[in-house]
Amino acid sequence: MTRILVLFVGLALFAGADGVFAHHSFSATYDSTQKVEIEGVVKEFVWRNPHSFMRVDVTDKDGSVKTWALEWGSTNVLAQSKITRTTLKPGDLLKVTGEAARDSASLRLLISSLDRPSDGFSWRGRVE
């Protein structure tokens, strides 16, 4: 009976471990010494936990469009700054500054500031 109970508890802990291993430290993914500025159009804004994300289309100097993945804070952190799931919409032009991905080939950015010139909306802060 004890073995069955231990096996059951072990399986339950193992089944819930994927969320723990899926979460990452920002410093493991992004280089805080490498600041990047991009300007692009929102393709998608995903409001979720543990982090919200955006996909932004950025036009390079040669005219080619590349989609960047931008990581932001949790819904709770963003809500404290009055940001909701409808604050940013596809088609919004943004100017974004953030920390570059450690993998230089990856078009990823941890957002540290954001501006939407069309209406003066801006956000400054550090997500945790």
125: pLDDT confidence band, cut at 50, 70 and 90?
A: confident
Give the start-to-end residue ranges of the domains of the chain.
26-124
pLDDT tens-place string over residues 83-107:
999 999 999 999 999 999 999 889 9
CATH domain 26-124 topology: OB fold (Dihydrolipoamide Acetyltransferase, E2P) (2.40.50)
Q: What is the mean pLDDT of residues 11-15?
A: 43
* Residue 127: strand, helix, or coil: coil
Task: Convert the pLDDT of each residue in 31-88 to its tens digit.
Answer: 889 899 999 999 999 999 999 999 999 999 999 999 999 999 999 999 999 999 999 9
Burial of 73 (C-beta count, 10 Å sphere; 0-12/13-18/19+): buried
Report the chain's mean pLDDT, rounded to a whole number: 83
